Amino acid sequence: MIRGLGRRVISGVSRLGHATFFLARLMPALGAALTRMRLIVQQLYMTGVLTLVIVVVSGAFVGMILALQGYNTLVRYDAQSSLGLLVALSLTRELGPVLTALLFAGRAGSALTAEIGLMKATEQLAGMEMMAVDPLSRVVAPRFWAGWAAVPLLAMIFSAVGVIGAYIVAVGDLGLDGGVFWSQMQSGVSVSNDIMGGLVKSVVFGFVVSWIAVFEGYDAKPTSEGVSRATTRTVVSSSLAILGLDFIMTAFMLRGL
């Protein structure tokens, strides 16, 4: 059993090494891709805009649930006027970045992996290479940039929609005062700490999820089974990476480092 565990750790570490080498090879292509914004914008539409619906709907529900649950607890201490603050802090610092990244990994990350993996399986990447076109800068880099940029943008939308959802429940259903809801939020949420902290997290998540997605796609075995495994790995590794990194970043941020 210990041997099996050791083997798993070694294969995990060597995979991380492969992914890092891949990232190093991708670096020059990333610069080249910036000169062709059209491709990035196209991918931003494919990954970002098409993920918008699921992010907006989830954000609204999460905000509404937070309002219900938060009210339930706060009302015991007669502190329900802080509901707006509670919801806003939870969303901007934690739930917005984390849930958006998880949704993004499931919706867009898996699609990125499958797309690149299938392009490899159908020799499209090899074909490009033979046409003297570098698939890293033509295919992978624009998708990586777009995914990286999409996650923070989507996380902000998630948090904003969540706050609106909470407002609807709190003021419309639970009978809280709208003015108190907003003013508590305005005085309690700090832009430099809470909002920027959340933004930093989602930038990191965007980088990691996009990296995992394009690496798994590019590294996939060029068969149907290989692509399906790679897609699964993208979602699983991304989710674990998001939660693990979130813990580390939260620990550092709360200690003021």
Q: Which parts of this chain interact with other proteins (CB under 8 A)? A: 119, 122-124, 126-134, 138
**C-alpha angle with apex 175: 173 to 176, nearest 5 degrees?**
120
Tell me the one-letter amino acid at 75: V
Q: Least distance in Å: CB of 78 to other proteins?
A: 58
By beta-carbon proximity to other proteins, the closer residue of 94 and 129 is 129
By beta-carbon proximity to other proteins, the closer residue of 95 and 116 is 116
88, 96, 180 from 170: Cα distances, Å: 13, 19, 11
Terminal Cα-to-Cα distance of the chain (whole angstroms): 39
By beta-carbon proximity to other proteins, the closer residue of 133 and 236 is 133
By the 8 A CB rule, do 66 and 85 touch? no
Q: Least distance in Å: CB of 239 to other proteins?
A: 28
By the 8 A CB rule, do 199 and 100 touch? no
By beta-carbon proximity to other proteins, the closer residue of 125 and 171 is 125
Question: Which of these, 96, 202, 110, lies nearest to 148 by C-alpha position?
Answer: 202
Helix (H, G, I), strand (E, B) or coil at 87: helix
Q: Least distance in Å: CB of 209 to other proteins?
A: 22
By beta-carbon proximity to other proteins, the closer residue of 130 and 191 is 130
Check the CA dihedral 21-27-33-39 and report its sign: positive
Record the tokens describing residue 137, joined without a space.
Answer: 């800068």
Alpha-carbon distance of 174 to 135, in angstroms, equals 55
Record the tokens describing residue 238, joined without a space.
Answer: 């991304």
By beta-carbon proximity to other proteins, the closer residue of 72 and 122 is 122
Residues listed for the chain: 257
Alpha-carbon distance of 102 to 97, in angstroms, equals 9
Quote helix, strand, coil % in the chain, to nearest 5: 90, 0, 10
Q: Least distance in Å: CB of 128 to other proteins?
A: 8
Tell me the one-letter amino acid at 164: I
Q: Least distance in Å: CB of 130 to other proteins?
A: 4
Q: Least distance in Å: CB of 136 to other proteins?
A: 11
Q: Least distance in Å: CB of 10 to other proteins?
A: 21
By beta-carbon proximity to other proteins, the closer residue of 116 and 169 is 116
